[in-house]
Structure 1
Amino acid sequence: MENIRDKTAIVGIGQTEFSRNCGRTELQMALEAILAAVEDAGLKVEDIDGMVNYTLDSAEQVEIVRALGIPNLSFFSKIPYGGGASCGTIAHAVAAVASGMANTVVCVRSIRDASGPVTYGDFEPNRVAGDTYMGMYHPYGLLTPVAWVAMFAQRYIHQYGVNDGQLGWVSLVNRENANRNPNAMFYDRPLSMEEYLASPINVAPLRRHDCCLSTDGAIAVIVTSAERAKHLKHRPAYISGAIQGMSTNGEVMTSYYRDDIAFLPEVEAYGNLLFKMAGVTPKDIDVAQFYDAFSPLVPMQLEALGFVGRGEGVAYCEGGHRIRPDGELPINTSGGLMSEGYLHGMNLITEGVRQIRGTSTTQIADAEHVLVTGGLGVPTSGLILRRR
C-alpha cells in the first residue's frame, strides 16, 4: 500500500463562485472550473489525458472533452455515492498516474444543488424496487439525507449522553473560518451559540445550523506525477495517501442494521490503511478538512480515525478551542460544507491544497500534513496531502 506515497501531486485547482442560483448549466460550470485549474497549474488543455468525475454529474465526460478540445483521454472513470466520491476521485487519479495509464488527470464536480431539480424523495418505482433500503424507508417518510443522518445522530446522543447545544461548536468554528473567506457563502454571516440554539429543528436532533448548504458551483483538481509537479507554477501538494472505504452491512446513508450505528466502521477501516500508506499517525496531522454535511459527523470521524476514543469526539470539540486555528487540530479552515459551500466535498480538497501552498484565508502555520475526508454514511474515501 505504501508504494504510491508522494509519487503524485495536486498541481492545479479551479472553481466557480459558490451561489444559490448560478444561472448556467452544470456543463458550463465544469468547463470554467477546469480551465481555471489548467491556468492555475501552468498547463494547457492539451495536457489533460485523464478525467474523473461523479456518476451524479450531468456534465458528461464526452461533452467536456468535446467542448474543451481535449485531444484524447487514455484514462476516465466515475465515482458513485455522492460525497463519498470526493477523495475517491483523487484516488483514481493517483492510480492512473502512478500506473502510467495517464500523465495529467483532472477531477471535477459540477452541481446545481440549490437551483437545480430536486432529486431526493422521488418515488420512482425503479428506484424503490431496485434499492432494497430505499424501498424500506421511502414509503414511511424517511426521504432526505438530513432525516437519514438524524437517525445516527439520535443514537449517538443517546449512547454518549450528549447535551443540547454541544454539537453546535462544530457549526460555530466552521462559521468563524468562513467569515475570513470571501469565497464562502456565509462570508458575511457570523453565528453565535444563541442563534444556533434558536434555529429551527430540521429533523430532530439536527438544527438548521447543523446542516450543510445547498450550493451551485463547480471545482476541478489536477493530479500529475511528483516529478512533473516540480516544474509547474505552485508548490505541489504531494499525495501521501488516497483511499476508499466500503464496509460490510452498509447502505447509502441508511446503514441502520450494524451492531453500532453510533460509529463509522468504513472510516475506521480506511483510516488504518490511509495512515499506514502515508507513513504518519493522527498526531502528525496539522489540519483536517472533515466532511461536515452534518455536525455530528465531525466528532464521529474524530473517533473513527483514532484522534480520540469512542464517545469522546463531542467533548473534544466543545468550546471550540481544540478545533480552532490555534488549537490542537484545526478543522475546515475555509468554512467547510456547512459555511463555505456544499460541492460534495471537493472544496475540502482545494482547501487542503491551499493549506499546503500557504494561501488559505485561515492559514495554519507550517502545515505539513493535511487530512481530507469524504462523505459519511456512504461508501467513503480519504486523502492525506503533504508539503515538502
Structure 2
Amino acid sequence: MGSLRGEVAVVGIGASDFFRYGGSTESEFAMVCRAILAAAEDAGLPVEEIDGFTAYSNDRSEPLRLATALGIRELRLGAMQFGGGGGGSAGHVAIAASAVATGLADYVVAYRGCRQGEVGRFGRGVGYGGSGNAAHVSGYDLGGAAMGPYGAFAAPHRYALRAQRMLAEHGVSQSTMRAVARAAYHHAQHNPSAVMRGRELTDEIYDSSRWVSEPYHLYDCCQESDAAAAIIVTTAERARDLRAKPAYILAAGQSGEYRSGAGGENAPTYATGGIRALAPRLYRDADVKVGDIDTFQVYDNFTAGVVMAMVELGVCSYAEADEVLTFDNLVAPTGRFPLNTSGGNFAEAYILGMGHHLEAVRQLRGTSTNQVADAQISVVTGGPMTTLCSGVIYGTESTL
C-alpha cells in the first residue's frame, strides 16, 4: 500500500493581515491572493510555478480565477474538499499531498479565505443562503425545519446540544472547557498577528461573560474574522532546493463516521469530535504515537468539541479530562499538551482552521511566537463535531 509519509512537504506558508469581522478593506479574493504571494515568497518559489489549488468549505476564490490573477502558466489541478465546514480544513491538504505525490501537479497551494460580511454566514435564520440553501431548508444542516421552529438558527445552538450530551454522559466540568479557551487567549498575547492580542482571558472574565447558548459562554465560541492563509505543498525532492525549512507530511486523511450526515440531529454518535476512526489511522500511517506529538493544533469552533477531539486523539479519557486538560497543561512552552499555540480560531483569527496549518509548520521550523522546545511532530485536525472531519500529521526531517 502506498504512503504519503515523507514523500511530500510544506515549503511555504503565508497569510494576509488579520482583522476582526468587517475590519478589512480588501475583498476576500484579494486577501487570498495576498496569502498565496506571501507563501511563494516564503518558499523562494516564483508564483508562476504554482500549478494547483485546493480548498474546502465551498471557498469562493476559484482556482481558475486565482491562476489568472497570479499569472500561473498552467493550472493542472483545481480541487475542493467537500463537507463538514471546518471539518474539511485538513482534507484539502490530503488532496494536495496526494496530487503532488502522484504527479498530477508540482506545486499545490492549499488555502482558505474568510471575509464573511461580504457573503453572509451563520446566525441569519433558516435558508439565508450563505453556505447553501437546500440543506438549511431541509433540516440537514444548521437551522432548517428540524430546528428553526425552536429558535435554533445558528452554529452555537446546534453544537450546544452536543456539548450538553458530553457533559451529561461523561461528567466533564465547565472548567475544562474554560481551560481550552484560556489557553488560546494566552497564546494570542504573544502573537503580534492575533486579533485578540491585548485581551487576556482570566477565569473571572470567562465566568462572568454572557451565555450564548448554554453551556457556551461567549468565550466558548470562536470569533469571526477577515483573513486568509495558504501553504504550498510539493515533493520532498523539490523541497530540498527551496528556501524554507520543509515540514514533511507524515499522514493525512478524512473521516465521515457512520450516518454522521443524518439530518435532524439523528447522527447515532452524537457527542463526538468525529476523529475516533481517523486518529488511529493517522498514527499508523505516520508511525507515531500520541506521546510523540509535540503540539496539537485542533480546530476550535467551540470548546466542548476541542475537548472531544483531544480525548479521541488519545490524550486522555473523558474520566481524566478535568485533571489532564488544564490551563497549565495546554499552554506553551511548558505544558504537556500545547494546544493551538498561535491562538487558533478563538484568538488568532478565524480562517476556518487554515491558520492551524501555518502554526504547525512554524512550530517545526522553530519560529512560533509560543515555541515548544525542539518540536518535531505536530498534528492538525479539522472539525470537531462536524459531519466530516480530517487531519494531518507533520514532522521534521529527523522524524523520517
* Alpha-carbon distance, 1:115 to partner: 6.1
Q: TM-score, normalised by structure 2?
A: 0.92
Q: 2:110 & 2:152 partners in 1: Cα distance? A: 32
SS at 1:59 equivalent: coil
Q: Which moved more, 1:335-344 or 1:152-161?
A: 152-161
Query: What do residues 41-86 of structure 1 show as CA deviations (whole Å, max 9, x unaligned)?
Result: 1001221111101252222222111111111111110122321121
Please show how residues 371-386 of structure 1 align to structure 2 within 5 Å. 371-378=379-386, 379-386=388-395
For structure 2, list consecutive stretches of 5 or more residues without a partner in the other structure: 128-132
Q: 1:235 & 1:132 partners in 2: Cα distance? A: 43
User: Would the aligned equivalents of 1:96 and 1:102 in 2 still touch at CA under 8 Å?
Assistant: yes
Q: 2:154 & 2:88 partners in 1: Cα distance? A: 19
1:347 aligned partner, one-letter code: G
Counterpart for residue 94 of structure 1: 97
2:244 aligned partner, one-letter code: H
Please show how residues 1-388 of structure 1 align to structure 2 within 5 Å. 3-20=3-20, 21-80=23-82, 81-113=84-116, 116-124=119-127, 126-130=134-138, 132=140, 134-251=144-261, 256-264=265-273, 266-318=274-326, 320-325=327-332, 326-378=334-386, 379-388=388-397
Query: What do residues 107-131 of structure 1 show as CA deviations (whole Å, max 9, x unaligned)?
Result: 1111113565345444337444555
Q: 1:314 & 1:293 partners in 2: Cα distance? A: 20
Q: Which moved more, 1:378-387 or 1:71-80?
A: 71-80
Query: What do residues 254-292 of structure 1 show as CA deviations (whole Å, max 9, x unaligned)?
Result: 78434442233x301111111101000101101111111
1:183 aligned partner, one-letter code: S
RMSD: 1.8
1:192 to 1:184, Cα distance in 2 relative to 1, 3 A: same
Q: 2:165 & 2:35 partners in 1: Cα distance? A: 40
* Alpha-carbon distance, 1:167 to partner: 1.7
Q: 1:312 & 1:255 partners in 2: Cα distance? A: 31
Q: 1:10 & 1:256 partners in 2: Cα distance? A: 37
Q: 2:30 & 2:295 partners in 1: Cα distance? A: 33
Q: 1:235 & 1:282 partners in 2: Cα distance? A: 24
Structure 1 stretches of 4+ with a deviation exceeding 6 A read none
Q: 1:372 & 1:126 partners in 2: Cα distance? A: 30
1:271 to 1:51, Cα distance in 2 relative to 1, 3 A: same
User: Would the aligned equivalents of 1:2 and 1:277 in 2 still touch at CA under 8 Å?
Assistant: no
1:327 to 1:119, Cα distance in 2 relative to 1, 3 A: closer
For structure 1, list consecutive stretches of 5 or more residues without a partner in the other structure: none
User: Would the aligned equivalents of 1:75 and 1:102 in 2 still touch at CA under 8 Å?
Assistant: yes
Indicate the percent of aligned positions where both proteins have the same amino acid: 36
SS at 1:135 equivalent: coil
1:2 to 1:277, Cα distance in 2 relative to 1, 3 A: farther
Query: What do residues 325-370 of structure 1 show as CA deviations (whole Å, max 9, x unaligned)?
Result: 1121111110111111110100000000000111000001110110
Q: 2:265 & 2:26 partners in 1: Cα distance? A: 38
User: Would the aligned equivalents of 1:22 and 1:115 in 2 still touch at CA under 8 Å?
Assistant: no
1:369 to 1:68, Cα distance in 2 relative to 1, 3 A: same
SS at 1:322 equivalent: helix
Q: TM-score, normalised by structure 1?
A: 0.94
SS at 1:247 equivalent: coil
SS at 2:145 equivalent: helix
User: Would the aligned equivalents of 1:249 and 1:255 in 2 still touch at CA under 8 Å?
Assistant: no
Alignment size in residue pairs? 385
Q: 2:314 & 2:122 partners in 1: Cα distance? A: 35
SS at 1:267 equivalent: coil
* Alpha-carbon distance, 1:164 to partner: 4.0
2:63 aligned partner, one-letter code: Q
1:55 to 1:213, Cα distance in 2 relative to 1, 3 A: closer
User: Would the aligned equivalents of 2:189 and 2:199 in 1 still touch at CA under 8 Å?
Assistant: yes
User: Would the aligned equivalents of 1:255 and 1:261 in 2 still touch at CA under 8 Å?
Assistant: no
